[in-house]
Structure 1
Amino acid sequence: MIDTVLQAWVRLCKPLGLNYGFLLDGAERASFAHGLWVTLELCAWTMPVSLLFGVLIAAGLSNGPAWVRRPLRGFVELTRNTPTLVQLYCAFLVLNMLITQRLGEANPITPFMWVVLVVGLHKAVFHAEALRAGIEAVPPVMLESARSLAFTRGQTLARVQLPLALRFALPALVNNLVDLVKMTAIASAIAVGDVTYESIMIWSHRDNVLELLLFILVYFGLLTWLVSVLGRWLEQHLRMPGYGQ
């Protein structure tokens, strides 16, 4: 059934000058499908990693002592002011080499994990800035109410500030996640077999760059659209009734 559909697709596109013949080759089709799956895995891992570190960094910047805030501020400035690709190269070609020299074959960090860590931390600093703005936007009267209930600073942050900051910062967080999905394409720079890397391997043999780029554009467009739809649903679901009206 699948082969019949793919053959029909190839015949349909041929008069348009588009050569999708690689879909009829079992090995190339399998490698392209593997690339689609790896990209999904990258998105599925980097999103929660970036959000987790974003919350931790925002908490440290807002409520941490000076010895925590200053290094975090330096990390934020360094991370958001340098290209993600350069950060990935530094992590994989320098840090990974040092770890390998120390541990040898026992190095537990794979190229896939380096992409997750670098992209996740890169977007985490943008999440943190959005959440920090949300924390600072919490009305003082709510903080006074928390103090009147004998909440500690940690309890106030966890039970009052962060839940409200999440609602305030949600549009910015969704925008960051959309950008994160697109950013996973840099995985191909260190030979992680995502959809971009597998496409490069295919078009280097078949010279069908346009056809595969169209596939990549549609695929990433679909993924980012799904993230946007989920973000809009969360905005509606988490909206505070009457707030700001």
Structure 2
Amino acid sequence: MSQTLARADRGSAAESLTAVPLRRPGLRVAAVVITFFLIFLLEGWITNPRMQWGTVGEFLFSPVIMEGLRTTLLLTALAMALGIAGGVVLAILRMSKNPILSRLSWGYIWIFRGTPLLVQLLFWYFLSAVVPTVGLGIPWGPTFVQADTNTLITQLTAAVLGLGLHEAAYMAEIVRAGITSVDDGQNEAAQALGMSRGQTLRRIVLPQALRIIIPPTGNQAISMLKTTSLVFAIAVPELLTSIQGIYSRNFQQVPLLVVACFWYLVATSVLNIGQYYLERRFGRGASRDLPPTPLQRLRAAARNHREEKAL
């Protein structure tokens, strides 16, 4: 009886205690100083007359800039599609039990990851210097179809090949990491049910591996959007090339680079939103209680506000 009363007293004493958060005055002072410094820099940047904000507004929605932005988005989409498709094939070949296929995949990844992307873009652009024509036929035999390399590999095609084949080498390692993250018991269970290796990969392994593959793939897509700026070296009229063409005539470099930064930020923000919802969709099986989306948070806040006003 006395022990029960003692426990009850300790429980009531614990309930009466109030947790006081640890005070960190240094962090608060640092936050105030950093905020003041950022506001100071932002104010000086915005009010600087040499920024030529009128020029920024003039060219922000210029047709030349919009066309360059469309080319950038097209390059990103085509290069990522080629990179993802090639990465899946290379990852499967890399994990093949056939040593020839596995080593060929390893060699491709070694070459394309080990050489600079700019060099690869220039290589595809100047390919016609060593291969003037491209044909389809029997090796060391007759050629049935033949085309001029310059006609076949245009500037845009060279950019897509350079970006996409380079990306495939990185996507191969991302896909391989996702596949190896799936437990081997899943493969054994599928084989016990009589499924072939292709069916197991398509129906069992890849759907589970997508949870691991999607986050780095989203990062690669965002990186690809910015990497397309390298195609200025082969004169593809994407966003940065269009910007450079304008400021080479009016000499307003910084205002026009601000325009480029604005559109890159807009495009990457849209890709970030898409990545967020894709990760949320494929994470449903891993977590029952998914955090609310920003739109759901806004709706909940608006509903709570209406309920408080009604009361």
Alignment: residue pair count: 231
The residue type equivalent to 1:72 in the other structure is: S
Higher helix fraction: Structure 1 or Structure 2?
1
1:157 is the counterpart of 2:189: no
1:60 is the counterpart of 2:93: yes
1:97 is the counterpart of 2:141: no
Kept in 1, the 8 Å contact 2:88–2:175? The answer is yes
Counterparts of 1:156-235 in structure 2, within 5 Å, are 156-235=200-279
Q: In structure 2, list runs of 5 or more residues that go unmatched.
A: 1-45, 135-146, 290-311
1:18 is the counterpart of 2:52: yes
Deviations 1:44-84 (A, max 9, x none): 21221211111111111123622111111011011112211
Bigger-Rg structure (1/2): 2
What is aligned with 2:67? Answer: 34
Kept in 2, the 8 Å contact 1:99–1:107? The answer is no
Higher relative contact order, chain-length normalized (CA < 8 Å, sep 6+): 1
After superposing the two structures, state which structure 1 stretch, 62-71 or 205-214, moved more. 62-71
Kept in 1, the 8 Å contact 2:56–2:255? The answer is no
Deviations 1:105-155 (A, max 9, x none): 773221101111111111121111011011111111111111011111222
The residue type equivalent to 1:114 in the other structure is: A
Q: Residues of 2 paired with 1:105 and 1:61: CA distance?
A: 31
Q: Quick one: percent identity of the two aligned structures? A: 28
SS at match of 1:192: coil
The residue type equivalent to 2:245 in the other structure is: M
Kept in 2, the 8 Å contact 1:59–1:157? The answer is no
TM-score, normalization: structure 2?
Answer: 0.67
Q: Residues of 1 paired with 2:176 and 2:285: CA distance?
A: 23
Q: Residues of 2 paired with 1:21 and 1:138: CA distance?
A: 53
Quote the offset at 1:14 in angstroms.
9.5
Q: Residues of 2 paired with 1:172 and 1:24: CA distance?
A: 37
The residue type equivalent to 1:172 in the other structure is: P
